[in-house]
Structure 1
């Protein structure tokens, strides 16, 4: 599945969770890192508005579908992919890291969230080795000297996998920046994944996710912040559906 812009084409190159876990495991064993992005409609809105974000997204090594509308568009295009939310990928990915004895870093959110998430995840994933955590200040620039120092510190700690818990577009920018500086580390932008683990945010129940209504659950939890975002997402759907149909004909 591709999303085409005037200056870039963004391709979902990992069709499902099994494929992305196999690719990540192979890369870690070979001493190669990556940057992983989880594309959703909000990202598409930002991609349409920002050439800089399109360049950052085009630099990602691995891209999966995070959101049912992306999955529906892929089916409409005749290039179906499966839903792979970052929150669902977190535990299987950390189990892979533990099985391969790959040290892990956490970056983003807050010190309290990182500490609690680390404690809970080490209990859930035997052998998980978290060697470095850090929470950047408000207004963090993902390509600044401070970001450079963060990458150097996780390198010095021996990290091979970094879970990023920032908002878009900063997490994708930091993943691309970090991968350039430390090509042996895998950088994964999982948004609120660690906040869910720590209980800082509450994810929709499984039955709500099963009927593809997680977006409504989230919108009702913070309507002033999220309803305008979802309105922007809904506004681009007709154009994206037309482009998906063009891909199907091609």
Structure 2
């Protein structure tokens, strides 16, 4: 994990957070509320560091891809903190480690907890990702849900080259406390790796996957019982069989193997 070891700023900012290794990745042992509190604390002046704190999330698909895609693996290992956005990770932690994950930290749930806390603390969001229509509807819905939340800007994620670099500089000038990046794996992680050095005025970057699809209402979440049983992937296949069947057919067995064979409770870097 050389990328993590070289990142002294991220190591110092997250040193007090316990971690366990699940499926080959080091996962934060935090519940939803604790993760949100960490994100809130990280942006206050006495905690703000010289570059954004970078949080991402892992599920079974991510574990499988990291085991077969070296670049994806490097991108995830460079994160300051990785949350468990998958119920199977929680279940396996209870079988394989005395230090158990308290619950799944789904980004779709985390967003709302952080938004409520940010409203109270007068902290700001920037929402980057999805297509133009999806992004606009998601932002409009968030503004309705959290009328006191300061959303200082938003943009779709279909930018390249000079247009993307100009947008990154614009985001930095706006200096949001939280930048939510929803481009999908591994594009959002690659975005963070490439542009963190230009986002020095941002407090926290959180990769967000399909978050904006849920915020816009274009995609429905699985029933709670399916989420709790670790069957959200079945729900997603039912909604998008052509796109997702083969993905989960190939990644789920590998993820299960990794969880059972590459998990341990060690908290060392």
TM score, norm. by length of structure 1 = 0.87
Say if 2:122 is the partner of 1:109. no
Are residue 177 (structure 1) and residue 166 (structure 2) matched? no
Please state if 1:161 is matched with 2:178: yes
Tell me which residue corresponds to 2:215. 197
Q: 1:218 aligns with which of 236, 239, 253?
A: 236
Q: Matched residues in 2 for 1:46 and 1:206: separation? A: 26
* Alignment pair present for 1:26 and 2:41: yes
1: CA distance, partners of 2:193 / 2:136:
25
CA RMSD of aligned residues (A): 2.2
Task: Say if 1:239 and 1:39 are closer, same or farther in 2 by CA, change over 3 A.
Answer: closer
Instruction: State whether residues 34 and 183 of structure 1, in contact with CA within 8 Å, keep that contact through their aligned partners in structure 2.
Output: no
Distance between the aligned counterparts of 1:107 and 1:234, measured in 2? 29
Aligned length: 240
**2:172 & 2:48 partners in 1: Cα distance?**
13
What is the aligned partner in structure 2 of residue 97 from structure 1? 118
SS at match of 2:205: strand
Matches within 5 A, 1:50-129: 50-78=69-97, 79-81=99-101, 82-129=103-150
Are the equivalent residues in 1 in contact too, given 2:128–2:156 (CA < 8 A)? yes
Equivalent-residue separation in structure 2 for 1:14 and 1:181 (angstroms):
30
Unaligned ranges ≥5, structure 1: none
Residues 1:136 and 2:157 are matched in the alignment: yes
Q: Contact (CA 8 Å) 1:76, 1:248: kept in 2 or not?
A: no
Q: Deviations over 1:199-229 (max 9, x none)?
A: 1112112233233321111011111221111
Bigger Cα displacement from structure 2, 189-198 vs 234-243: 234-243
The alpha-carbon deviation at position 4 of structure 1 amounts to: 6.7
Superimposed CA distance per residue, residues 126-169 of structure 1 (whole angstroms, 9 cap, x where no aligned partner): 311111111132xx66xx55443322111122322111111100
- Distance in 1, Cα, partners of 2:205 & 2:211: 14
Distance 1:199 1:4, change over 3 A: closer
Contact 2:88 2:230 in 1 (8 A): no
Indicate which of 235, 242, 247 corresponds to 2:261: 242
